[in-house]
Amino acid sequence: MTMLPPESLPFPDSLCHRCAAPPRYVQSRTSLFILCPLLPQKYPPQPVRACALFKPHAPGTPAGTE
């Protein structure tokens, strides 16, 4: 899993960054995508503001480590 520094997160207000599911950041030469392991549509349009599968990760714990 690729973790980016908080200041470099794409779409910083997206729920993906705060989800317990381990989001993966996939970078091409010109774009950066957030892959969701839970959604059938693996790369949701950003920023995600509502998601039926969203589960917040524990405070003080990086996303995807639960």
pLDDT, tens digit, 9 for 90 and up, residues 4-60: 555 578 888 999 999 999 899 998 999 889 999 999 999 999 999 999 999 998 876
Instruction: Determine the Cα–Cα distance for residues 17 and 59; give it in Å rounded to an integer.
Output: 13
Beta bridge partners, 33, equal 26
Q: What is the pLDDT of residue 59?
A: 75
Q: What is the pLDDT of residue 10?
A: 84
